[in-house]
Amino acid sequence: MPKDYYETLGVGRDASDDEIKKSYRKLAMQLHPDRNPGNKDAESQFKEVNAAYEVLKDAKKRSIYDQFGHAGLGQGGGGGFSGDPSGFGGGFGDIFEEFFGDIFGGGRGGRGERAGGPKRGDDYRYDMSVTLETVMNGSEEKIRIPTVVECDPCKGSGAKAGSGPETCPTCQGSGQVRTQQGFFSIARTCAACGGRGRIIRNPCTACRGQGRIRSEKTLTVKIPPGVDTGTRIRLSGEGGVGSAHGPAGDLYILIDVARHPMFERSDADLLCQVPITFTQAALGGKLEVPSLSGKARLVVPAGTQTGVRLALRGKGLPHLNRPGVFGDLVVEVRVETPVKLNKRQRELFEELASCCDDDSHPDSKSFFDKVKDFLEHMAS
């Protein structure tokens, strides 16, 4: 399974060009073969780092990779369409094969697939960025993706109208040629047919014998409330078309939740920092605070300190797999110290200070009592 290029370079998806370059140079120096003679792991990682940087340093390639992953660059590893003259290349079979195993069948040819027979199409991946508002309410989004479809002129056969594929005379349709070397029998992919078991004498001019052509399609994706970064949405049959009339693969939408200017997310809970005045903190009161479902009313207890967290139950995000259940909105209070006091304000604060005693500031009294004990101990 191809490793994520951002993960390979140790940077986030929002990394700047300078951050990508800096991380690449650091890793390249650490892993360079001259510094790690005989270390095969370091050599392999060095190649991975270089491959990742070659894509992410190029704005066009990076944009394609961000949208379609490895397969958008023809590096998906699904061999079912590697010969496509349009350059669209393989699909996403390898990306998901490691996780899901044989249920995908895969463009490489699953168990029970005979040479030249129907093969399942490639699975595709589409990275979609959504907002917290979408997470809150769900939505329907239209996306346009590159794909491969069955060639209409040849109906997927790859051969010109009036002709058809012929059984490969070299391998007799098996896709493999066996040679005997002493006691061993070695099977190799048939060079004459490329392992397909068939030869097309008169290829279709539209698809050049591939049976499939590059195309684009628009799909509507339903985003359920409560999705999180990493959530996968499967669209069955919306991947690449299979070869020799095989079934189409699936399309997987991978969700990435964008950062919000006001809220931080923790599972289904939302965290928001709210400044309050010195007076509100001392006397307490009611505040209107923002939430993704509109304004919410928060009760601030008298004597509230900076950093105190107050929860509004059920004002967070919906749980993906628990309909009707919501997380909390957690408000972290930040007490704002008054600045630019006028003469009258300063007089009032000085009067307040003269009236306050240790009982009004228990934390300060406790702290400075400890400081006094500590200094006395140091002096003794």
Q: How much of the chain exceeds pLDDT 70, in percent?
A: 86
CA dist., res. 138 & res. 222, Å (int): 8
Q: Phi first, then psi: what are they for 226, rounded to 5°?
A: 95, 0
Are 206 and 355 in a shared domain?
Answer: no
User: Which residue type is seen at 9?
Assistant: L
Are 183 and 220 in a shared domain?
Answer: yes
2-5: which pairs have CB atoms within 8 A and are 24 or more residues apart?
2/70, 2/75, 2/76, 2/77, 2/94, 2/95, 3/48, 5/51, 5/52, 5/55, 5/56, 5/65
Mean pLDDT of 35-55: 87
CA dist., res. 197 & res. 113, Å (int): 12
Q: Among 61-75, 201-215, 268-282, 299-313, whose mean pLDDT is lowest?
A: 61-75
Domain boundary among 257, 292, 312: 257
Are 244 and 374 in a shared domain?
Answer: no
pLDDT on residue 156: 81
pLDDT on residue 116: 57
Interacting residues of 107 by C-beta distance below 8 A, sequence separation 6+? 78, 79, 80, 81, 90, 91, 93, 119, 120, 121, 122, 240, 249
Give the mean pLDDT of the chain: 81
Query: Is there a contact between 160 and 203 (Cβ–Cβ < 8 Å)?
Result: yes
pLDDT for residue 75 is more than 80? no
- CA 370 to chain CA centroid, Å, is 50
Are 178 and 82 in a shared domain?
Answer: yes
Q: What's this model's pTM, rounded to 2 decimal places?
A: 0.57
Kind plus residue range of the DSSP H or E element containing 7: helix 5-9
Are 321 and 240 in a shared domain?
Answer: no
CA dist., res. 145 & res. 141, Å (int): 13
pLDDT on residue 198: 82
Tens digit of pLDDT for each residue in 325-376? 999 999 999 999 888 999 999 999 889 888 877 777 777 778 777 877 888 8
Which of the four pLDDT bands, split at 50, 70 and 90, describes residue 112?
very low
pLDDT on residue 304: 93
Tens digit of pLDDT for each residue in 124-163? 999 999 999 999 999 999 999 888 888 888 888 888 887 8
Interacting residues of 119 by C-beta distance below 8 A, sequence separation 6+? 80, 105, 107, 109, 110, 113, 242, 243, 244, 246
pLDDT on residue 347: 92
CATH of the domain at 116: 1.10.287.110
pLDDT on residue 371: 79
Are 148 and 77 in a shared domain?
Answer: yes
Tens digit of pLDDT for each residue in 218-230? 999 999 999 999 9
Check residues 192 and 238 and name the one with the higher pLDDT: 238
For residue 53, give the nearest of 88, 24, 90, 84 by alpha carbon.
24
Mean pLDDT of 239-252: 85
Are 93 and 61 in a shared domain?
Answer: yes
DSSP three-state, residue 185: strand
Note down the domain range covering 319.
264-379
pLDDT on residue 117: 66
pLDDT on residue 115: 55
How far is it between the farthest Cα atoms of the chain? 106
Are 230 and 338 in a shared domain?
Answer: no
Which of the four pLDDT bands, split at 50, 70 and 90, describes residue 178?
confident
Which of the four pLDDT bands, split at 50, 70 and 90, describes residue 41?
confident
Mean pLDDT of 25-38: 84
CATH of the domain at 347: 2.60.260.20
Tens digit of pLDDT for each residue in 52-65? 998 999 888 888 88
Are 235 and 325 in a shared domain?
Answer: no
Domains: count for the chain: 2
Tens digit of pLDDT for each residue in 313-322? 999 999 998 8
Domain boundary among 257, 281, 297: 257
Domain boundary among 229, 257, 285: 257
- Written as six digits, the tokens of 79 are 């061999």
pLDDT for residue 82 is more than 60? no
- Strand order from edge to edge, sheet including 251-257: 124-130, 251-257, 232-235
pLDDT for residue 100 is more than 80? no
pLDDT on residue 39: 86
Which residues are paired to 305 by β-bridges?
none
pLDDT on residue 370: 84
pLDDT on residue 8: 92
Are 158 and 102 in a shared domain?
Answer: yes
Are 35 and 137 in a shared domain?
Answer: yes
Are 251 and 270 in a shared domain?
Answer: no
CA dist., res. 288 & res. 329, Å (int): 13
Mean pLDDT of 245-269: 92
